[in-house]
Structure formats: structure tokens, C-alpha cells
Copies of this chain bind each other. A is one copy, B any other.
Amino acid sequence: MNTRASQETPLIPAPRITTVAGYLLTRLAEAGLASVFGVPGDYNLPILDAIADRPDLAWIGMATEQGAGYAADSYARLRGIGALVTTFGVGELSAINAIAGAYAESVPVVHIVGTPALTARDDGVVLHHNLPGRDYDHFARMAAEVTAAQADLRPGTAPAEIDRVLGTALRTSRPVYLTIPADVADIPVLAPAGRLPRAARGPDPAVVAAFTGRARRMLAAAAGASLLVGHLAARHRVTTQILDLAIAGDLPAAVLSTAKGDFPESDPRFAGLYTGPASAKRARVAVEDADVLITVGITLADTVLPQLPEGHRIDLAPDEASIDGAVYRGIGLRQSLAILAAAVRSRPRAARADLPPFEALPDTRGGPLTQRSLWARVQDLLRPGDLLIADQGTAFYGAAGLTLPDEAKLVGQPLWASIGWTVPAALGASLAAPDRRVVLIAGDGAVQQTAAELGTLLGQGLVPVVIVLNNGGYTTERAIGHPDAAYHQIPAWDWTALPATVGPAASPVALRVGTSHELTTASYCAGVGRPVLIEAVLDAGDIPPLLQELARALAIPVHQ
């Protein structure tokens, strides 16, 4: 039919024909996607064939669907979009924790699920990978709890539905869910004619004027102002605008642990990591004593220990701004940051208040490895541009205390806090940013959750530096209660044997270190063009100070 239409209107170019799966893949490539993660399954092979047909998309077969979800998550943090393909039931449910994590951490992951053919359902056959009965929507209802938009694709409406769902992912920076029946993936549809429509409706001009006026007055009356940056700034790609605002007003800027690396740490305005009462003095003064505190893209979860001043606050969120609680809806981060930059430029220039200097971490070089000497050595190891991927627990809270070189970034999952996230995340990050070095630091309990994906990572020919913190179990939980309980222990693995077991062809290097000096020596192996795993042996009770503070804040009343 499309062919006939083009014959009747020869002056209009013939529409290009693709398939439902092809349309989706074209839109994903347009958004910046080059790698798709997943696991084959009976119902998703037509989608995998469509991926194999495209030279611009690489299929990254994972050991597990959860690994695929985690890899797509970290990939999306660095590229602005990530995608995984799983199969109905067994596959998609194995990935659903990863999708929930992407929702909690605001990451645009597209979960594509191959589902049973419509013809098979019409037959009323009871299908494997389903629960007994003929309800095929159990898993879609589950996915709706943890995704921002969903569609079950059908030939006639697939292009519009794909555009709607992907547009939501990109606009809200949240995961979305697309199901493609096995007999729908290959149905022909018109290829996209233009770019994916993304724009949301802009705010009411009166709201913008009101916000602008009040912000200008507040900033003009203040002796100074400070910035506090959260992770939603990077997710909505406004970190450059934050730096512009800080320079325009000569404002100090602190970051939450979720945004570590999103403000250049060598900039004189950098005020450090803000973690409430656990913060260094410089960050507390900058944030808590500010005449006006401007927060950008923060989420105040329990783990970021909110102790912020209540008044004299300007809060910038992805879809609204507010001043001391008065909300101005529809103003996005880019717009609100531009308004504030203009406001600070127009006010009389005040000298930036002196902040207390950074407190140098005491450096310990001799003796057995401790959390203190470990992190001093990791600090030595870091280079500009590094992606430091740190698992929840001692790894993340140790890494959050480091000073990041220029363009380096701490990547973690502190809000959802699912241990094991980093092994697949290191793979996703390596593929998303192939020019950057990946340094992965994770506890032994975390690596046991996703160790198989180290094999996937090595199988891709990638050369990360992997540091496994071997402290014999769940030290984060030890910090919360009953540190000597048997349930905190995990089976002892031969960690240095792991890389060659799961990636023998990669000729990995593996070293076990028990002293600060040995870790220094081992660090020289990092970056020699081969993957390196360093097993760092630590005491089970040794906890970074920041985590100690956090555990205190989280302590469950019954476990004092």
C-alpha cells in the first residue's frame, strides 16, 4: 500500500520501509545508542536478528539479565540512553531489580522484551515462561511499577508508541518498558521521517517571570550564595551550566555523593562533598552557612543525610523550581540555571566568602592494608578522566572521600544501593566511553553477586582495573548491627583465580595485596594494556569513616 501511495505522488520521496524492531533500533541509534545488552531467549530472537543486521549497533550478550540491566544503566548514565533485550517472564523478571534501580537513580534505560507471538496467544496455548492460565500481562503490570512509560507494540501503532515511550525516557530520564510479540517484530512499518519529538510543553511565561523576579530579589539582597549539586544535574546534562553559574557569581559549590565528579574539584569554588553532619568543615560552612543555598537536582534520601537550612533556599529540579517552598512549575534545569546566572551577573559583585581549606587525609604508608591506607593508594592511582566505579558499601563511601582529578567521575548506585551493580556497570561504562579508563572497586560480597559478568567484560577485550575488597563478607551490614554475627560471612573465594577462570583468553593479571606497599606495587600493573584484578585484604571490621556515620544514621532501633 505504501508503495502505491508513493507511485501516485511522485514528487514526494518514496517513504522508506523498515520493521517494527527496525524502527525502534533506528530511534535508539538516533538517541546515541551503539551497544545493546541482553540474553537470548525463545521469544526475542527476531529482535536479536534485527540488531545483528545493523552495523551501527553491537549486541553484547551477557551472562545474566540482571547484568544486562546494570550494564545498560551505567551505559545510559554516560551516553544519555541505554537498552537491554530480554525474553518474556524468566528474562525480564531477572532484570527487574536493575530496572527499578534505574528508576530510583533516574536513568533512561529502555527495557525491550520479546513476548509470545500473538498467534500463539490466540490459540489459547498454555505457554512456558508464563504462569498457568492465559493471562499474558502479569509481567507488564509488574514492570509498570518501576518504569515511566510502557507500550505493547502492535503493527499499526508501533511507530507512534515507540516515539511516545522513548520520548518519555529521554525527557524524564527514567526507564521505560517495551514488549514486542515474536510475530510483530518483523512486520513492515514506515521508517522514521524526522527526529524523535522530545520537547515537553514549556512553562507559563508568568510563572517564569515570577520565579525570575523573586530569585533576583533574593540574590540581590544576599551577601553571598552557595550551590549544592545532586545527581539529577548530570542526568539532565546541565553540569556545564552549573559551572557557568558558579563562575558568573563566583559561588562555592558542594556536591552530594551522588554527584561526585559533576563539579570540577580543582576549581577554587569547589567546596567538597556534602554529607550532612559527616561532612568536612569546608562543605558544611559552604552549604549550611550560605546566605542563599541553591540546590540543583538533588534528592534527599536517607543516605545523603539531609541537614540543609530550611529558609533562603532556591531548589532547582528537572521540571520545576522553588523558592522557600513556593513552586514554579514547568521550569526545567537548563532554564532555571540560565535565569540564576543572569541574576548573579546583574548584581554587584561581592568577594567570595573565605571557606575553610580542605582537610588533607592523613596518609598511612607502612603496615597492613587498612581502609585509610587503601584509599590513599587509590588516590595515587587516579588519573584525569578516570571512571571510578565503586560498589555500594565500603567501596562507595571510601571513594566518595577522594579528590577526583579533572574530568574523573565517581559512578555508583547509592540511592537504590543494590550490591553487585558495579561489575556489569564497569562493562557498560567501558563501552559507553571507550577512551576513558575504568577503575572498578567493589567488596567481596558485591562481586559474588555478579562475578559472571567479569567474564563478559573480559570477553569484550576490555582492560579495566578491578580492586576487590576482601573483608570476608558484608561489612556494611556489620556496621549496622551485630558485627560478629555468622550471617555477615560469605564463602571464601580464590579471588586471584577468578579472572583467568571467567576470561582465560584475556590473559588477565591478578594480584593479592595485604599491605599498603604491596598495593602501590600492584598499582603499577594498572594500565599496561591487560586487565588487572587486585585482591585487597582488609579486616572485616575496618570501615571508612563516612560509612560509619551513615550506619549510625540508618541504625535500626531494635539493633542499638
Contact = CB atoms under 8 A, between A and B. Distances in A.
Interface in A486-504: 486-494, 497-498, 500-504
A52 interface: yes
A275 interface: no
A419 to B, nearest CB: 8
Contacts of A554: 42
Contacts of A132: 103-104, 106, 299
A90 B97 contact: yes
B142 A145 contact: yes
Interface in A105-128: 106, 117, 119-120, 125-128
Interface string A158-190: 000000000000000000000000110110000
A467 to B, nearest CB: 18
A66 B94 CA distance: 8
A195 interface: no
Nearest to A130: B104
Given A131-B104, A452-B448, A89 B493 contact: no
A170 B104 CA distance: 36
Nearest to A474: B40
A447 to B, nearest CB: 9
A90 B417 contact: yes
Contacts of A103: 131-132
A4 interface: no
Contact of A556 (B117, B129, B481, B485): B117
Interface residues of A, number: 95
Oligomeric state, in copies: 2
A59 interface: yes
B449 A451 contact: no
Interface stretch (A26-34, A215-223, A454-462, A540-548): A454-462
A146 interface: yes
A456 B491 contact: yes
A453 to B, nearest CB: 9
A554 B554 CA distance: 50
Contacts of A101: 90
A415 B96 CA distance: 20
Contacts of A477: 40-42, 45
B486 A491 contact: no
A490 B117 contact: no
A505 interface: yes
Contacts of A97: 89-90, 93-94, 96
Can you list the 3 inter-chain pairs with the closest CB atoms, starting with the nearest? A459-B491, A93-B97, A90-B418
29 contacts: A40-B488, A42-B480, A45-B477, A45-B559, A46-B558, A48-B485, A48-B487, A49-B481, A52-B487, A59-B486, A59-B487, A61-B490, A63-B490, A63-B491, A89-B100, A89-B416, A117-B557, A126-B301, A128-B301, A128-B416, A142-B142, A182-B557, A183-B558, A451-B451, A491-B503, A492-B504, A493-B504, A494-B501, A494-B504
